[in-house]
Chain A
């Protein structure tokens, strides 16, 4: 080979070119994505058919639904007046009627603004965390304060409580700052914990009580005066509301009457339709009987044909033949009887249950469509139907097993003629029916519109009624609570004055008590053989001590209410619905993430004890169903807590849900940690970063990024699992659906409620999923 043949030098580099032009646009997309091969074509067609079948069922149901009705029965009335059973419709009225309850549970309606405000502020608090690059950083302070603010808004009570609770954290931070300068980090951490615990456990309650007492004493006279004035004027207001309520109820009754009139009017328009519909059944039954008779005649003819006249046993025949002949003879006898009874049955059906076409009522319809009258007159008259059958009956009576085949054929032909006439009659009736419906449909449009208007009016009236009865209930509650508060205020001085006396009695009894018994807290702790006098002394002493405690607690309560600067407290039992799901879900999410991170780090730790504690915690929490933990929270926890502690149920549920989710989050984050190359740890170590610094700055940001899908998945699961609180007696949306269905007005409704609840959950879970995708995309910096 010559050298010049293989040597090659490129003198200029090739420029870039556009890719070859192919078919583009929608057609290419459809061909590539929907019809790229036989299997795909088949799948596409099948899927489109499946989608069509589902939507053609659901969409008319959903969009043809009723929005204004007071009960399921009313819903069905309206639906019937529109569709007359031809298709079903959704009864969305239940949502219209009860959506506030599904949202807020039994929270007082006049205070809805509090959870709503808390919900709106939630987004302000989330903004600096979720969209850190678009929001000023100072907002983080609001995010930190938000949990306390939100809890205060939802549960109400004194403003001191959230401020003091938050101050516990401030105390911890201050203690940490001071101690970390004086001693090592471990001492500083322990000191911070101790400062917070001392504040919450020992200082908070006396300071808060003192504040209440101070404010309360200064308000005492004023409050008593206002309460007196208020309780005096309240009964009149309640009576006024009562009168309003009665008037409203009368209005509603009137509106219901109008609605019923419209329904009756519509029934009147349809009366011809209903009349005709009644005609069908008798005629169709008669037609079936005639056909049966014709069949019997032909069967009889067959038997007679086979046996050559009357089936009779020949004398020389075998036993089998005799048996066959007898059976045939019996069948023939039966058939003869059937023919007669079927024919007379058909006649009586027609005679009793149908009317002569001339008597068929189509006056209003025929006015709109005169051709209906022609159709009616074209029908065979009742006599024209009945007379041939009557004649046939007479002939059928003469039929015996001896009747000739030709006669039978004749009879069958005549029966078929009669049946054909009846069939033609039915068909003509059907035509009339269709025409009547068509004309009625036009006539019904206007009353249907009026019915819708009337139901809307009714809904508005019922809403008014709800508002009035709520305000009446509020006034009544205010009255009864005012009265009881007034009486506890009036006895306040007395109770306070009795305290030193009671305390003196306690001291007296204590002095009398033998020294070794003074620390006992129950009579059954006494050693055996104690004298009954001592036992009596101890029980008196304990009783006196109890009196002091309960009186001072009641005094504190009264001062607490008197000196409250803040919002009306709301009991946890009243919090329900979607609001409850959100409270538990969001609190669980916010708290479980840091806890999960700590657990994941603990599980990776080389410190044996820490590691094993985390492993056991994660495995135990994860290995037991959430519902068991919820039951533990609601029932068992009371056994472990000191007697008399009142520990809010919602708070307990939040703690359990948080622990449960944290175990899952820990495992998800552990996966993210394991996915990081060891070089990252070494890189951080070699720069001299401490463990917590390298975790916070290097390891966790990357591990969390890897774990985002898993974390969000856990959060979505947690949020949906909040519906499980139904089983421990909290009213989550599902529990409320049960409560709504227990109402007689809405008994029997399922789909509408569950679809609405499902939609609420879907909106939140879908948003979380979308945000996680957004976050993943934003963090997709490294091109690995």
Chain B
């Protein structure tokens, strides 16, 4: 993968990590039918951490973060998000989902609604925010991702990069405390990747807790405070980015890094 990095100086000082635990995953297992996808995952994420999850395809990275807001159900172990345990209790699930924002590889914007409606919908129906106030919030975040002028268009009229930024704004409108990114730049043209990464970096600078599945190693190096390498449904190695990239411990990680950065 290319090293798409931002040119401007990144304010790493703003990205402080607190001691408060945001996500606590203990001995978590997941199967698809009889296929054991995630094996004994243990992971603690503190508030303000920026974690990049890397690994070959099929290693369970996406499944892991999708378990965190219960888009996938885990079969063993516990997942605590903001002190609430994820179980089959619908009330807990809806509560956690509205606290945890998520961005998808294919954006998953709602094509029948305008950009503004995409951003206000959940506020109005889940948060019961009055329409006017919801629109103000939506415009605030659309300005933040630098596309307020597209508010009245439909998603189909926007470029991929713009759509992904709208998706980020849509999640932010719910004022989440944690953001999950599931390969947010994989479906984008190289020219558009940068605009999305810039948005994510800004978010990181504001101290957002972020879990990001991505192949953008430049982003990982610059922004992440921890990189997790997964293979065959297990966490193989995790470390600070400098150590991870310059001095990988396991052979599997070395092989992966040589393949991904080798040319």
B partners with A: yes
Give the residue of A685, A702, A782 whose beta carbon is less than 8 angstroms from that of B156. Answer: A782
List, in ascending order, chain B residues with CB within 8 A of A697's CB.
121, 125
Given contacts A683-B104, A683-B109, A688-B122, contact A783 B156 (CB under 8 A): yes
User: Does chain B have a CB within 8 A of A680?
Assistant: yes
Q: How distant is A707 from chain B, measured CB to nearest CB, in Å? A: 14
Q: How many residues of B contact A (CB 8 A)?
A: 29
Query: Which one of B12-20, B28-36, B94-102, B188-196 contacts A?
Result: B94-102
- Considering the chains assembled together, what is the distance between the CA atoms of A685 and B71 in angstroms? 7
Which chain B residues border A159 with CB–CB below 8 Å? none
Dominant secondary structure at the B interface:
mixed
When each residue 77-110 of chain B gets 1 if its CB lies under 8 Å from chain A and 0 otherwise, what string results?
0000000000000100011011011101011111
Contact of A688 among B97, B104, B154 (CB under 8 A): B97
Q: Looking across the interface, which residue of chain A has its beta carbon closest to that of B157?
A: A783
B125, A680: Cβ atoms under 8 Å? no
Chain A contacts of B8 at CB under 8 A?
none
Q: A682-B108, A698-B110 are in contact. Are A781 and B156 (CB under 8 A)?
A: yes
Name the residue of chain B whose CB is nearest to the CB of A684: B110
Interface residues of B in 41-99 (CB under 8 A from A): 69, 71, 90, 94-95, 97-98
Complex partner residue of B71 from A686, A782, A783, CB under 8 angstroms: A686
B112–A784 touching, CB < 8 Å: no
The CA of A776 and the CA of B174, in the complex, are separated in Å by: 33
Q: How far apart are the CA atoms of A365 and B90 in the complex, in Å? A: 100
In the complex, what distance in Å separates the CA atom of A686 from the CA atom of B174?
11
Are A687 and B174 CB-contacts (below 8 A) given A701-B112, A783-B157? yes
Q: Per-position contact with B for A669-688: 1 when CB-CB < 8 Å, else 0?
A: 00000000101101111111
Closest to B103 in A: A686
Tell me the B170-187 residues at the A interface (CB within 8 Å): 170-171, 174
Q: Are B94 and A688 in contact (CB-based, < 8 A)?
A: yes
User: In the complex the two chains form, what is the Cα distance from A779 to B112 in whole Å?
Assistant: 8
CA gap between A683 and B69 in the complex, in Å: 12
Q: Is B111 an interface residue (CB 8 A)?
A: yes
Is B126 an interface position by the 8 A CB rule?
A: yes
Cα distance, A679 to B122, chains bound together (Å): 16
Smallest beta-carbon distance B73→chain A, Å: 11
Return chain B residues, CB-CB under 8 Å to A505.
none
Within 8 A of B (CB), among A635-679: 677, 679
With a cutoff of 8 Å between Cβ atoms, the chain A residues found around residue B94 in the complex are 688, 690
B125–A686 CB distance below 8 A: no
Q: Confirm or deny: A33 has a beta carbon within 8 angstroms of a beta carbon on chain B.
A: no
Are the CB atoms of A784 and B126 closer together than 8 Å?
A: no
How many A residues face the partner with a CB closer than 8 A?
23
Instruction: Say if the beta carbon of B160 comes within 8 Å of chain A.
Output: no
Indicate whether B207 reaches chain A with its CB closer than 8 angstroms. no
Nearest Cβ on chain B to A673's Cβ, whole angstroms: 14
The residues in B between 130 and 175 inclusive whose CB is less than 8 angstroms from any CB of A are 154-157, 170-171, 174
Min distance, Cβ B140 to any Cβ of chain A, angstroms: 18
The smallest beta-carbon distance between A692 and chain B, in angstroms, is 10
Residues in A neighbouring B156, C-beta threshold 8 A: 781-784
* Complex CA distance for A783 and B159, rounded to whole angstroms: 12
**Which residues of A lie under 8 Å from residue B126 when comparing CB positions?**
687-689, 693
CB-CB contacts below 8 Å: A675-724 with B = 677, 679-680, 682-690, 693, 697-698, 701-702, 705
* B225 CB, min distance to chain A CBs, angstroms: 24
Q: Which residues of A contact B100 (CB under 8 A)?
A: 686
Q: Which residues of B contact A781 (CB under 8 A)?
A: 111-112, 154, 156
Contacts of B104 in A (CB 8 A): 679, 682-683, 686
Determine which residue in A684, A685, A686, A689 has the highest number of CB atoms from chain B within 10 A of its CB, and name it. A686
Task: Given A683-B104, A688-B94, A688-B97, verify A784-B111 contact (CB < 8 Å).
Answer: yes
Contact (Cβ within 8 A) A782 B122? no
Report B102 CB to chain A, min CB distance, Å: 4
Chain A residues near B111: list those with CB within 8 A: 702, 781-782, 784
- Give chain A nearest CB distance to B138 CB in angstroms: 13
Given contacts A781-B156, A783-B157, A784-B156, contact A686 B102 (CB under 8 A): yes
Q: What would 18 A/B residue contacts be, using CB atoms closer than 8 Å?
A: A677-B106, A680-B108, A683-B110, A686-B71, A686-B102, A687-B97, A688-B122, A688-B174, A689-B125, A693-B126, A701-B112, A702-B110, A702-B111, A702-B112, A779-B112, A781-B154, A783-B156, A783-B157
8 nearest CB pairs, A to B: A688-B98, A683-B108, A782-B156, A782-B111, A687-B122, A688-B97, A679-B108, A686-B102
* 8 new A-B contacts at CB < 8 Å, known A687-B98, A689-B121, A702-B112: A683-B110, A686-B102, A686-B104, A686-B108, A689-B122, A701-B112, A782-B112, A784-B111
